[in-house]
Structure 1
Amino acid sequence: MTIKCTIWMPVLLIAGMCIAVCGLVSAASPQLPCEFYGTATIGGSPVPAGTVITAYVNGTPQGRITVTEAGKFGGTGTFDERLIVMAGEKDFANGVPTITFKINEQNADQSAPYQPGASTQLNLSVAGQAAVPAPVEPVTQSNNSTQVPVIVAQVPVQVQTPAPTPVITPVQNQSSQAVQPACVSAPAQ
């Protein structure tokens, strides 16, 4: 009986250590990154090339991409660059984290849940007016020539559309009798 115990005890001990080590390794494994591509606009206008889009997980920047083609970031091709977002183990402490985005340090209107290993098309936008470079015109005052930026405000115009005109369709009576009006007023007394 003691021979069987001495053989199985080391086997069980080794198996238990393997299970414990495997559990520690899998708990410390980083999450797969997720990636994004799509369009980017500010105030309805495509962002220019050179614009930086940054992804944040729990308020910490976790990925960024520079726009190379106006209004687009990343692509669907195998070798196209994409916005790669990484998250750490601590980011999942309160469940699936939400990714927020900034376009040139302006908060984008969209956000996305962190989906490890996913490649997602996401069209980002910042509401409001598009960034318009201010024209510079020389202004002369006495003996000095000073350049002053002239800012042109773009005000959205609301167009009022007329209310649709109701169309009245006559109803045909299936009998051969004349159609009587529906509302008949009583004679005044």
Structure 2
Amino acid sequence: MRRLIVAGLTAAALLLAGGGDALVAQPAPPNRFYGTLTIDGQPAPAGTVVTVIQGGRECGSRPTDTPGQYWVDAASGSQISGCGTADPVQFRVGSRMANETAAWNGGQFTRLDLTVGGPGGGASSTQRFTLSRLDMSGSLCIPATGSTQCDATRLRLWNGDRAAWSAEFARQGRPEPSDDEVFVATYEFRIGAGDPAAIASLARGLGWPKIYITAVRYRGSAPGEGDEYIEVTNVGGAPQDMTGWRAFAVDSNTSFYFTDGSVLEPGARCRFYTGAPREDSCPGTISVSASGVWNDSAGTAELWYDPLALLADRTRYNADPNNQPPPPNLQGAAGPLG
């Protein structure tokens, strides 16, 4: 397994490196936000992850170092496409949304005290989500099986903290790790946890396809909610023949079938809409219902390869900003619905 990971990392590095003589433009600076952080009236514990969301995209994420205090950089558009815009800056704290928003100002240090919920632990008045997406940034720590969030030790291992890995190696009776060993151990750890970002980079490096459900829009705005959709993406490095594949809305027992012979190229995505097909519809899509098929509150989406009765992907979503399922399940996305 470790050899495969190293091979994937090497290949990915070569692909990403480009020409050695290429000139890289200096990216525009981010907007750094900082201040106090309280959850239900109490200081947020150290290790709480604060994620910046702008226009439905994740534009930065960082765990806190000190109880009740945070800082996080909101990326510019040259750092992350779609960030640094005029859209309001929103903040996800763990799996819940903060009550405050802000405007983005590149190169500025902005004090903004964040609160989640209320003094008595009540739910935030934040509007419910209508769309959830798969986090492909690798910034969200995936908790251990049976847990809903990462503890401080797991979060440090997730982020490649050298001291944490030194302690883990010592616990296993292994010698002090080198920097390369910490890097590979972190990569293995993330892959073992099911991190879509790490798995995608490995698939690209090795030239393998990898198919994920990357979004579900579960509350449409068109009549009959015909603009609901499930989005499927090939995040890997090779084409995938989609013959025999289907997406499945578990709660309504509704299937969406790919056309035999259709192919999803590396990096390509398509959507199965509840209503009439659109320009970005998946091959074979038809209008499956005159009314919505996705539960507006919470639900489960699956991806099947029927010839082998193989469940290729299964993910959950929740419209409640204060009750998000742990990653790698889909996470509520604020902003534009498209």
* TM-score, normalization by structure 2: 0.26
Higher relative contact order (CA 8 A, sep 6+): 1
* TM-score, normalization by structure 1: 0.45
Q: Is the helix fraction higher in 1 or 2?
A: 2
Larger Cα-atom Rg = 1
